[in-house]
């Protein structure tokens, strides 16, 4: 490692940029290791393929207002922040604004820069055991190639006992009146008032991701199952589309389409909501990481002109 790269690795740089000549991305290591923007050149213009963070969000290091943030060591909510594992009771910190300790730790903490190259960044986050009684390390490799954004996320158990785990990405996409999503799935989880799963059912006939739906006509905050790890987002009025390709074990897709908002989410994740509390004969996607073991997966976002 050179002196310059070593210096970069020791600090939480406010905003890093990468480019491949076709697309650019900005990364905010201190804001939960989040991507702040992903922009692509189309017909001489530069367009945002993820919802860009504004300067205020960058300054306050607000991962939830970024373009995409990592989910470690699990995705979504744990009911009341509590679960039992291997004979021990785990109780995570909660608050009125976060009653289920949503999305774990990674998006709440700064990440260090392991490497910064013209078209790639490596970020790392190391968690010391606390109310989550396992130490672990997470890494993201964020890169651009031929306009495609790739993010490889990994999770390693640093403790001496098995650790329950999950991971994924939480990207935000621009929502327009004609934005269309198509993603083959086979089922979904109905939820209660806390958006926690209650019953596994078939997708709704009128808004089935398999056949496709318009974002403006839905109100999802839903985990879909049987996902083929492929999705296509289209903005027909702008003549562009974005293909999402994920790797196992990112076998679930969370769709969040809040009415009236200029954004929506399509999240490739490895576990259903509240996976650690729903373990009796149900495919929750919960991973058990043995001491020293690691799991990883990549997600690729590929833009193109709409046909």
Interval 189-202 mean pLDDT: 96
Interval 114-133 mean pLDDT: 98
Encoded tokens for 39: 């922009």
In this predicted structure, what is the pLDDT of residue 3? 44
Specify the higher pLDDT residue, 4 or 252.
252
Specify the higher pLDDT residue, 300 or 14.
300
10: left (phi over 0), alpha (psi -120 to 50) or beta: alpha
In this predicted structure, what is the pLDDT of residue 280? 63
Neighbours of 306 (CB within 10 A): 14
- For residue 115, is pLDDT > 70? yes
Pick the CATH number of 3-305 from 2.60.40.10, 3.30.1330.10, 3.40.50.300, 2.70.98.10: 2.70.98.10
In this predicted structure, what is the pLDDT of residue 13? 56
Per cent of the chain over pLDDT 70 is: 95
For residue range 18-75, list pLDDT tens digits in order.
Answer: 999 999 999 999 999 999 999 999 888 999 999 999 999 999 999 999 999 999 999 9
pLDDT tier at 14, thresholds 50, 70, 90: confident
Distance (Å, whole) CA 270 – CA 252: 6
Distance (Å, whole) CA 222 – CA 228: 16
Non-local CB neighbours of 137 within 8 Å, separated by 6+ positions: 124, 125, 126, 127, 155, 156, 158
Mean pLDDT, the chain, whole residue set = 94
In this predicted structure, what is the pLDDT of residue 307? 73
Q: Cα–Cα–Cα angle for 104, 95, 91, nearest 5°?
A: 55
pLDDT tier at 10, thresholds 50, 70, 90: very low
Neighbours of 277 (CB within 10 A): 18
In this predicted structure, what is the pLDDT of residue 22? 97
Encoded tokens for 21: 């000549």
As a whole number of Å, the end-to-end CA separation of the chain is 45
Interval 110-122 mean pLDDT: 98
Task: Note the pTM of the prediction, 2 decimals.
Answer: 0.94
Between 7-21, 62-76, 147-161, 266-280, the lowest mean confidence (pLDDT) is in: 7-21
Specify the higher pLDDT residue, 275 or 43.
275
In this predicted structure, what is the pLDDT of residue 44? 87
Q: Where are the domains of the chain?
A: 3-305
Cis peptide before 300 (omega within 30 of 0): no
Neighbours of 119 (CB within 10 A): 15
In this predicted structure, what is the pLDDT of residue 9? 42
Q: In which order are the strands placed within the sheet that holds 240-246?
A: 112-117, 120-127, 136-145, 148-157, 294-305, 240-246, 230-235, 180-182, 213-214
Interval 226-252 mean pLDDT: 97
């Amino acid at each position: 490692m050179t002196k310059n790269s070593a210096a970069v690795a020791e600090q939480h740089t406010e905003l890093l940029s990468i480019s491949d000549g076709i697309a650019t991305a900005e990364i905010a290591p201190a804001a939960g290791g989040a991507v702040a923007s992903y922009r692509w050149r189309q017909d001489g213009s530069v367009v945002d393929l993820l919802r860009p963070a504004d300067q205020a969000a960058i300054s306050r290091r607000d991962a939830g207002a970024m373009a995409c943030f990592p989910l470690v060591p699990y995705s979504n909510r744990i009911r009341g922040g509590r679960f039992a594992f291997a004979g021990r009771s785990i109780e995570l910190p909660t608050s009125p604004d976060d009653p289920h300790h949503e999305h774990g730790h990674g998006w709440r903490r700064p990440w260090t820069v392991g490497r910064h190259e013209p078209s790639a960044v490596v970020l790392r986050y190391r968690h010391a055991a606390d109310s989550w009684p396992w130490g672990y390390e997470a890494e993201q490799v964020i890169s651009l190639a031929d306009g495609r954004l790739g993010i490889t996320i990994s999770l390693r158990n640093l403790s001496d006992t098995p650790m329950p785990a999950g991971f994924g990405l939480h990207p935000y996409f621009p929502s327009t009146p004609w934005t269309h999503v198509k993603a083959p799935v086979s089922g979904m989880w109905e939820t209660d008032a806390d958006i926690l799963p209650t019953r596994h059912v078939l997708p709704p006939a009128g808004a089935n991701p398999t056949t496709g739906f318009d974002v403006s006509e839905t109100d999802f905050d839903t985990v879909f199952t049987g996902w083929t790890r492929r999705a296509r987002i289209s903005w027909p009025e702008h003549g562009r589309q974005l293909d999402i390709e994920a790797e196992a074990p990112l076998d679930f897709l969370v769709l969040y389409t809040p009415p009236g908002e200029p954004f929506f989410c399509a999240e490739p994740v490895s576990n259903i909501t509240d996976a650690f509390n729903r373990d009796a004969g149900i495919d929750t996607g919960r991973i058990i990481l043995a001491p020293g073991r690691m799991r990883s997966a990549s997600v690729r976002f590929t833009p193109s002109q709409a046909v």
